[in-house]
Structure 1
Amino acid sequence: MSVVGIDLGFQNCYIAVARSGGIETIANEYSDRCTPACVSLATKNRMIGNAAKSQVITNFKNTVHGFKRFHARPFDDLFVQTEKPKLPYSLCKLVNGNTGVKVRYLDEDKVFTVEQITGMLLTKLKETSESALKKPVVDCVISVPGFFTDSERRSVLDATQIAGLNCLRLINDTTAVALAYGIYKQDLPTPEERPRNVVFVDMGHSSFQVSITAFNKGKLKVLATAFDPYLGGRYFDEALVNYFCEEFKSKYKLNVKDNPRALLRLYQECGKLKKLMSANASDLPLNIDCFMNDIDVSSRMNRGHFEDMCAQYLLRVEVPLKAALEQSKLSRDDIYALEIVGGATRMPAIKERIAKFFGKDVSTTLNADEAVARGCALQCAILSPAFMVREFSITDVVPFPITLRWKSPTEGGLGDCEVFSKNHAAPFSKVITFHKKEPFDLEAFYSSPADLPYPDLRIGCFSVQNVVPQPDGDTSKVKVKVRVNVHGIFSVSSASLIEKQKGEGEDMEIECEPMEQNDSGGEDQTKMQVDVEGQSQMDQQNEESRSNNKDGASGEKQDPASGGSKPKVKVKSMDLPVVANTIRQLNREVLHNFVAYERQMITQDKLVKELNDAKNAVEEYVYDLRDKLCGVYEKFVTEEDSKRLTLMLEDTENWLYEDGEDQPKQVYEEKLDALKRLGQPIQDRHREQEDRPRAFEELGKKLQLYIKFVNLHKQKDERYVHLSAEEMSSVEKCVNGSMAWMNSKMNAQSKLTVTQNPVVKVADIITKIQELDTVCNPVMNRPKPMVEEAPDTNDQNSGAHNGPTNRQGADGKGHQTKAGTKDMEVE
């Protein structure tokens, strides 16, 4: 079973696999461990990854990149509308209101969802993994930003299904980094000791994330997270681009932003310049040849000027750091280490501000680019039954508070309750008890709009059906289980109807359930009762909660007013259907169609690849043969054949770049066969001429060996006297026949020129050697038969060799005895 972790980044992706007793980041077909998050669609096929990145300039309208943040985003969202003018490709509004990508594919205008584009990228990463592992890849763990909402996480999960992957877990970026950091630490404190608190700072190309994690031996617990979704390396690139656009406008009269191709080239050069400035504080040049209108442009920039330009972004670095520290309720002295990852953290100004805020040096022990992918692979190995991994539990957090709202009959309005607070342990389940007479709806939403980097607060609406009143007309007790699962997605997982007990009039109560294996937060086991105003007080202790849960599981509950003297009342429980209507999630039918269409595109890509391979094979054969006709093949072809073949090669080359530019695969194969009918005999004569002497030499050595063997037998050599005359006759006959065959073929071949086809081929000589070995080798290597010798009774040392008795061969006085006497024992 394969174990794969994928860092699905905004700009680049990384794949890590667990094998050979460790975690390895694998390379793609370009020997590059970094795969660009680009998808280029053309008239015949798709190009993904490195191949797509090379099309960013030439096919900019159909090359999609920077699409990660469009997952489940409505087209009218302010973020989408802000990004739209910056993109060289077109965005459009889908039927469900989400953002779609409009491109030209297979000579038709196509609209793809962001899930489909991400599915294409994941298909490429899956193929890269399978190529490296030499086995199918299905299970994986994929990273997402910690601030992704339910809708965005569901969208990524849909993309994994389109690609044919089974995502075992969506893990937050910083949590994956924490796992990669902590699982190898041998000196972590025991669970009874004070935990080791480590800050992880991840600034990538598009976002800034901070996490504070507490480590004990065998576990990690995320204490707090904070983020700035609009602070990353791309915003520093934009600052450079805007500066040079203004400079080129005044210096060269060029309006760069009106030319998408020039703007993309400027983005690429500014990205390179930013990296150079991180390592060099002096003035650095920016030169672009034929930038626009055949004009070469040049400029200069240094680190100090660059930091002044980006002051507004640098000031925002401390805000998430401060928020995370406050939420964790720790002081700076409680922080053990400060680990930074992500490409943008290589900027000196970023590192300085992070170190200054915490008052300690930053640590770069983790690979800044690959740490997330390695953590994902470790999590996948932990979840996979095929790997034995050190026991290590992970407790993540809920990034935004989640509230449930329902219709409250007691108040004639709406009731609500915050079921998961910010930084609540996750995954986690809670059981909420309602008292209802009819089906009801639960609306889940995020209750902190100021912190949410998403335009819609709604998570979904969950309808609890088949609720009926009690036989006496009173309300029924309905227990609803809500859950934040391993993906960080909220759901109403189940509901059940049970008989209402006496004295219960509350509208709703919440129970925290013990978690399954791999779940966290088991210490919060108290039972809460919540009134309609949302105020809460402690109802029972942990022991009572566990006792009630046990009673409820057995289907019986004791009346508390009876004091334990009355018999228990049996309670009936019936599962209720829950219909979920989540926000902006693909329905099953649409998702099934996307999966089928992805398979069609994969098949189309394979057909185009086979076609290109066939065409390239013709082109390669033309160039290779024409070059060798004037070189190593020159003496192996007649002048007439050489002229005819050269003319045919020239005609084929002209055809390739004219009528043969776009032909079916079979046409290219026929062209190649026609060329090989003339060229292959020449290649064969050259190869035979090179290999024939070595083959004849090998046959000659074998013949000399077997001739010597025959002569030794005739001379009665003691090594071969056991061989029969018939066997030796067959050997001698085979040797003489092979010798005659070799001499005749060598004589016949010597009479031919190198332009004629040989009378004997290397394959024939090898066959003759094998025949010779088959006949002669078993006879020559047959061992002598074993001869058993009778024991010698006169051997005075036989007693020492044949047994422990001291009477064997000599009497007690040391005189030799006669055989057969009573003093002699012979076995």
Structure 2
Amino acid sequence: LCFYGIRLGFLELHLCIILKEDSGIRITLIKIGGWMAMSWVMKISLPQIITNVKNAVHGFKKLHGRAFEDPYIQAERAKLPYELQKMPNGSVGVKVRYLDEERLFAVEQITGMLLAKLKETSESALKKPVADCVISVPSFFTDAERRSVMAAAQIAGLNCLKLMNETTAVALAYGIYKQDLPALEEKPRNVVFVDMGHSAYQVSICAFNKGKLKVLATTFDPFVGGRNFDEALVDYFSEEFRTKYKLNVKENPRALLRLYQECEKLKKLMSANASDLPLNIECFMNDLDVSSKMNRYWFEQLCAALLARVEPPLRAAMDQAKLQREDIYSIEIVGGATRIPAVKEQISNFFCKEISTTLNADEAVARGCALQCAILSPAFKVREFSITDVVPYSITLRWKSSYEEGTGECEVFSKNHAAPFSKVITFHKKEPFDLEAYYTHPQEVPYPDSRIGRFTIQNVGPQHDGDNSKVKVKVRVNIHGLFSVASASIIEKQSVEGEHNDTPMDTESASKNQGRDEELVCKACKHLHCHCGNNEKKQDHPSQPKAKTKVKSIDLPIQASLCRQLGQDLINSYIENEGKMMMQDKLEKERNDAKNAVEEYVYEFRDKLCGAFEKFITEEDSNKLTLMLEDTENWLYEDGEDQPKQVYMDKLQELKKFGQPIQERCMEHEERPKVLNELGKKIQLLMKAVEAYKNKDEKYDHLDPAEMEKVEKYINEAMNWLNSKMNAQNKLSLTQDPVVKVAEILAKSKELDSFCNPILSKPKPKIEPPSDGQAKANGEHNGPVNGQSAAETNILDTLCCEGWRFCFFHLQVEAVKVKHPICVVMRFLCTFNI
């Protein structure tokens, strides 16, 4: 099992993989720098961006879900080296060169390409399929931006189980391993998480209990981050170089990127060193070398306005959570920009506490996403840990009222409301109606359009008696943080005559409904308020006995029109296009591999012609082959620069036609002596076995003479074959093809084994045990003879036949058991070495 957590950063991408193996759990973290893994530019680094400025797409995270006319897009457009253009649906497109032609790709396609490439690389490395994942997004992303990221995951063929807020992912990575959290009935532990990355600043306050995480508040500044500090340095040095060297850096995209690269390095060095640090760039512009210097104090002065923006989100988070500084247990910081000493100081001074750095500033988000993926998966059991997130912006529903052409509205989710969460709202309507969802306070949303979408409740009609129908609408903020009208149903009432119902209904009488257009009843949150378009007073009527009614609920269709939502047909076309490009990438990779194989063969073989292959080719053939290799090398850099795959394969086969015999002669020369020696040893061992058989060796006395005659004949034939081949080979020079090849010798050896071994290794026949009569007869002969035991008789025989000095050791052992006088005497003589 594999669980994927993906952090889509502005500058880098982090993938965390949790693998369930037989030996336990393994967590792997992969970092891709530069956000470049698109089809036309694979994994690319900053130096590669500099050399391919207009075709290297990066920093497009915050382009998701926005219109081309969005002020933020227009501001970013001036900073990006590649070109942005308007798509037919009004969204943002990126113009790049793909397969030698200009192409326009939607931002969703760009991210989809990145995720698809990541999926392909992961599957190739892990040898396991990838499907489910959790992707991080900033907590301030609106519905339109979140839906755009979801579409990108769909284009990549990934099943996104959850879009997770980055600060919530950090909190999960922090809390799930804690063993000392307070119990559920105890006061929670409040922890502040501060995340300042390359492009945004986020703050979250979370309450922890054992097995439980609840987000209390989240605040942010989407327009301050590490790159703003880099820009401050770039602006300073650009002005200095304009005055000092008469260079306009900002008019040269390549030089500007180099300056950004050097300023980022300088910023990191200043985090660890407060003294003056040099800035030197060689051949910066117009073949000029530039130099300058900077120190931490002056850097902080340049960034004073940015540092002043650190405190407001911290204060807002504390106010929204209704906490005091003494209620905070610790402050955890993540994100690259939090390494700046001045930023740390601002955070620490506000809370009057030392900040904590127990989490990995770069990897905590990806790790939290992977853990969330494992929690959501039914195939994997992890420690129980519930997560309650919040709604970042308050959401209001608005509808058209039929009474006096007024409008009704209701705030269904307040800021920092728990999520995911559902609410049921009751309307009284006679006809279909629209619900318009929007953000209540547009000034708090870093997005120009406050609309979320329009939802049309269809097939609504009056009751049989002409009264308004009761329509229950379920609204929900789901696990991705997306608002939707999840369902709608109409309640039909049918009266049953002759019976009375004493049970109160979950509705109101028709007479009470006559004094207004609609009534909202929230089943999930009783303190929900309704702001309707009319202010007419309601009239109370005395309750009367009601006839028993039969209630029937009928689901109603809902037509949703979401702000900046990609249509499914368009997404399908993007998926199809991505499949074609992936296939094209595969073909392109195969073509490049074929080209590289030709180039590699040329270089490798040319080197060996002057080395290992030199003595296996004549001088004339060597000159011809060297000329052919040089011609092929020149062809690769001229006409063969961009040829189909088959052309490269044919060129390689043409080279191998001349080179393969030389390579084979070299290999045969190196391997032949070894296999010949092994075959010779094998023949000698078999001949010794035949000789032992002829000498009546008991090991082979059971073998069939006819079969042994065949074995001897076969061995002699093999010996003659070996001698003839060796003699013929010795007469040839190294530049000639061998008479016998290694494969033939190995085949002969195997053939010899398969013929001779079954015969020579044939086991002896089993000897039947003697019968009872034979055993008694044998026993009579083994008994005492002339009053002597069998052991004594054997000793005497030994003395007579071999001489006593040759068996004294045997006698020392046997004399202990046997009491014969001779044994005693011999033992005495042996003891004194006589």
Q: TM-score, normalised on structure 1?
A: 0.86
Q: Is the CA contact 2:412–2:528 (under 8 Å) kept in the aligned structure 1? A: no
Once residues 395 and 456 of structure 2 are traced to their aligned partners in structure 1, the CA distance between those partners, rounded to angstroms, is 17
Once residues 399 and 285 of structure 2 are traced to their aligned partners in structure 1, the CA distance between those partners, rounded to angstroms, is 60
1:749 aligns with 2:729: yes
- Partner SS for 1:584: coil
Distance 1:724-1:353 versus aligned 2 partners, 3 A rule:
farther
Distance 1:626-1:787 versus aligned 2 partners, 3 A rule:
same
Instruction: Name the residue aligned to 2:457.
Output: 464
Q: How many residues align?
A: 749
1:614 aligns with 2:594: yes
Distance 1:125-1:728 versus aligned 2 partners, 3 A rule:
same
Once residues 698 and 575 of structure 1 are traced to their aligned partners in structure 2, the CA distance between those partners, rounded to angstroms, is 84
Instruction: Name the residue aligned to 2:18.
Output: 18
Offset at 1:733? 4.0
1:174 corresponds, among 152, 167, 170, to 167
1:365 aligns with 2:337: no
Offset at 1:410? 4.3
2:519 corresponds, among 491, 494, 508, to 508
RMSD: 2.5
AA partner of residue 610 (structure 2): C
Offset at 1:136? 2.3
AA partner of residue 10 (structure 2): F
Q: How does 1:171-250 map to 2 (within 5 A)?
A: 171-250=164-243
Deviations 1:518-576 (A, max 9, x none): xxxxxx6x5857463799xxxxxxxxxxxxxxxxxxxxxxxx9689xx88532011111
Offset at 1:179? 1.5
- Partner SS for 1:659: coil
Distance 1:769-1:474 versus aligned 2 partners, 3 A rule:
same
2:34 corresponds, among 25, 33, 36, to 36
1:679 aligns with 2:659: yes
1:578 corresponds, among 558, 562, 567, to 558
AA partner of residue 27 (structure 2): E
Once residues 42 and 695 of structure 2 are traced to their aligned partners in structure 1, the CA distance between those partners, rounded to angstroms, is 76
1:598 aligns with 2:596: no
- Partner SS for 1:649: helix
Instruction: Name the residue aligned to 1:264.
Output: 257
- Partner SS for 1:508: coil
2:42 corresponds, among 27, 40, 48, to 48
Instruction: Name the residue aligned to 1:423.
Output: 416
Offset at 1:206? 0.7
Deviations 1:347-382 (A, max 9, x none): 222222222222332222222111111111111112
Q: How does 1:473-492 map to 2 (within 5 A)?
A: 473-492=466-485
Q: Is the CA contact 1:39–1:117 (under 8 Å) kept in the aligned structure 2? A: no
Q: How does 1:403-418 map to 2 (within 5 A)?
A: 403-410=396-403, 412-418=405-411
1:760 aligns with 2:763: no
Distance 1:383-1:729 versus aligned 2 partners, 3 A rule:
farther
Deviations 1:278-321 (A, max 9, x none): 22222222221111111111111222221221111111112212
Once residues 26 and 77 of structure 1 are traced to their aligned partners in structure 2, the CA distance between those partners, rounded to angstroms, is 35
Q: Is the CA contact 2:134–2:161 (under 8 Å) kept in the aligned structure 1? A: yes
AA partner of residue 347 (structure 1): I
Once residues 300 and 781 of structure 1 are traced to their aligned partners in structure 2, the CA distance between those partners, rounded to angstroms, is 87
**Percentage of identical aligned residues:** 66
AA partner of residue 482 (structure 1): V
Q: Is the CA contact 1:403–1:447 (under 8 Å) kept in the aligned structure 2? A: yes
Instruction: Name the residue aligned to 1:105.
Output: 98
Offset at 1:751? 1.3
1:96 aligns with 2:89: yes
1:341 aligns with 2:339: no
Deviations 1:102-144 (A, max 9, x none): 2232333322211111111111111121122212212211111
Deviations 1:367-399 (A, max 9, x none): 211111111111111222332222222111111
Deviations 1:131-189 (A, max 9, x none): 22212212211111111000000000111111111111111111111112222222322
Once residues 59 and 534 of structure 1 are traced to their aligned partners in structure 2, the CA distance between those partners, rounded to angstroms, is 62
Deviations 1:689-730 (A, max 9, x none): 112222223323433443444444444445555544455445
1:297 aligns with 2:308: no
Deviations 1:247-282 (A, max 9, x none): 110111000001111111111111122222222222
Offset at 1:35? 3.9
Offset at 1:460? 0.2
Once residues 408 and 127 of structure 1 are traced to their aligned partners in structure 2, the CA distance between those partners, rounded to angstroms, is 53
Distance 1:657-1:531 versus aligned 2 partners, 3 A rule:
closer
- Partner SS for 1:511: coil
Show structure 1 runs of 5+ residues with no match. Answer: 28-32, 514-523, 536-559, 796-827
2:76 corresponds, among 74, 79, 83, to 83
Distance 1:718-1:201 versus aligned 2 partners, 3 A rule:
farther
Instruction: Name the residue aligned to 1:771.
Output: 751
Once residues 595 and 447 of structure 1 are traced to their aligned partners in structure 2, the CA distance between those partners, rounded to angstroms, is 35
Once residues 313 and 89 of structure 1 are traced to their aligned partners in structure 2, the CA distance between those partners, rounded to angstroms, is 27
Q: Is the CA contact 1:403–1:446 (under 8 Å) kept in the aligned structure 2? A: yes
After TM superposition, the structure 1 stretch with the greater mean CA deviation from structure 2, 729-738 or 293-302, is: 729-738
Instruction: Name the residue aligned to 1:70.
Output: 63
- Partner SS for 1:153: helix
Once residues 476 and 372 of structure 2 are traced to their aligned partners in structure 1, the CA distance between those partners, rounded to angstroms, is 21
Offset at 1:468? 0.1
Once residues 487 and 761 of structure 2 are traced to their aligned partners in structure 1, the CA distance between those partners, rounded to angstroms, is 79
Deviations 1:408-435 (A, max 9, x none): 2346311111111111111111111000
Instruction: Name the residue aligned to 1:141.
Output: 134
Q: Is the CA contact 1:49–1:121 (under 8 Å) kept in the aligned structure 2? A: no
Q: Is the CA contact 1:18–1:24 (under 8 Å) kept in the aligned structure 2? A: yes
Q: Is the CA contact 1:15–1:129 (under 8 Å) kept in the aligned structure 2? A: no
Distance 1:700-1:300 versus aligned 2 partners, 3 A rule:
farther
- Partner SS for 2:205: strand
Q: Is the CA contact 1:25–1:370 (under 8 Å) kept in the aligned structure 2? A: no
Q: Is the CA contact 2:134–2:164 (under 8 Å) kept in the aligned structure 1? A: yes
Instruction: Name the residue aligned to 2:817.
Output: none
Once residues 334 and 658 of structure 2 are traced to their aligned partners in structure 1, the CA distance between those partners, rounded to angstroms, is 60
- Partner SS for 2:640: helix
Offset at 1:196? 2.1
Once residues 364 and 686 of structure 1 are traced to their aligned partners in structure 2, the CA distance between those partners, rounded to angstroms, is 61
Instruction: Name the residue aligned to 1:550.
Output: none
After TM superposition, the structure 1 stretch with the greater mean CA deviation from structure 2, 311-320 or 730-739, is: 730-739
Offset at 1:243? 0.9
Offset at 1:88? 1.0
Deviations 1:216-260 (A, max 9, x none): 222211111111111111111111111110111011100000111
Distance 1:739-1:367 versus aligned 2 partners, 3 A rule:
farther
After TM superposition, the structure 1 stretch with the greater mean CA deviation from structure 2, 313-322 or 381-390, is: 381-390
Q: Is the CA contact 1:39–1:65 (under 8 Å) kept in the aligned structure 2? A: no
Once residues 534 and 686 of structure 1 are traced to their aligned partners in structure 2, the CA distance between those partners, rounded to angstroms, is 99
Bigger Rg, which one? 2
Once residues 751 and 482 of structure 2 are traced to their aligned partners in structure 1, the CA distance between those partners, rounded to angstroms, is 72
Once residues 779 and 359 of structure 1 are traced to their aligned partners in structure 2, the CA distance between those partners, rounded to angstroms, is 92
Instruction: Name the residue aligned to 1:688.
Output: 668
Once residues 309 and 753 of structure 2 are traced to their aligned partners in structure 1, the CA distance between those partners, rounded to angstroms, is 82
After TM superposition, the structure 1 stretch with the greater mean CA deviation from structure 2, 56-65 or 476-485, is: 56-65
Once residues 560 and 638 of structure 2 are traced to their aligned partners in structure 1, the CA distance between those partners, rounded to angstroms, is 59
Q: TM-score, normalised on structure 2?
A: 0.85
Show structure 2 runs of 5+ residues with no match. Answer: 494-506, 536-541, 777-834
